[in-house]
Amino acid sequence: YLRNFAVEIDPDEMVAEVERQALAGDGWVKLVGDWIDRDAKDLRPLWPADKAREAIERAHQVGAKVTAHCFAEQSVAELVEAGIDCIEHGTGLSDPVIAQMAERGVGLVPTMTNLENFPVFAAAGEAKFPDYAAHMLALHASRFEVLGAAMDAGVQVYAGTDAGGTLVHGRIAEEAELLAKLGGVEFALGAISWRAREWLGAPGLEEGAPADLVVYRDDPRTRLAVLHTPALVMLRGELYSG
């Protein structure tokens, strides 16, 4: 995975590390579900399915939820079957896995801005790993079809940008524009704000809730581009900008 970014462990250490992060974190643990395998020369799951199931169950026992980076087909199928709470990217979703996600209420955070980088990833690996490159291009080509099928099946889709690693923070407006291509403006605005807050258990616009506000000079429902230029940002009653 990204060098010096994730906690790199052996499968036998997975349950203990997930428990450690669950107890120390904010209620979520993220797994890297798949990555390029240099021997197979393509994307492969990083965890045995039985270990993943055990780790997810342990996280649930201590009150945390689990999400996972999944580009390809096998990892997402195994992790949804194992009881995961959310999938990030989800470009390898099949119809049976989509149905399972909808039935179980598994969330989907596609990170549309990062999916746009798949051709770049493919080009970087094409010389040494042509199968991987072809796979990434195929996943990129079908992204709107696959994610649209998930939406149509009732899978709840939320916004995320994958920032904090190689991607900088502050691209949520761009993410909203790409999500609008997937499901329309109202869907995109909900995915970056009220639906996401509700899903995460954060309060909405209600008496006594923290004053978390982003104010715009125009209505984003009629001009989505205004998301790039907020007039005011307030977090927990403290003015951040504007």
pLDDT, tens only, 43-72: 999 999 999 999 999 999 999 999 999 999
Among residues 218, 222, 217, the alpha carbon closest in space to that of 180 is found at: 222
pLDDT for 171: 92
Longest distance between any two alpha carbons in the chain, whole Å: 58
Provide the pLDDT confidence category of residue 115 given band limits of 50, 70 and 90.
very high
**Residues 111-124: what's their mean pLDDT?**
96
* Spans of all domains in the chain: 11-157
**Residues 156-185: what's their mean pLDDT?**
93
Q: Report d(CA 116, CA 68) in Å as an integer.
A: 19
pLDDT, mean over the chain: 96
Residue 91 corresponds to which tokens in the numbers above? Answer: 């470009």
Among residues 190, 156, 165, 194, the alpha carbon closest in space to that of 175 is found at: 190
Provide the pLDDT confidence category of residue 204 given band limits of 50, 70 and 90.
confident
Model pTM score: 0.94
Question: 11-157 has which fold?
Answer: TIM Barrel (3.20.20)
Q: Is 35 left (phi over 0), alpha (psi -120 to 50) or beta?
A: beta
pLDDT for 231: 97
Position 3 pLDDT exceeds 80: no
pLDDT for 205: 85
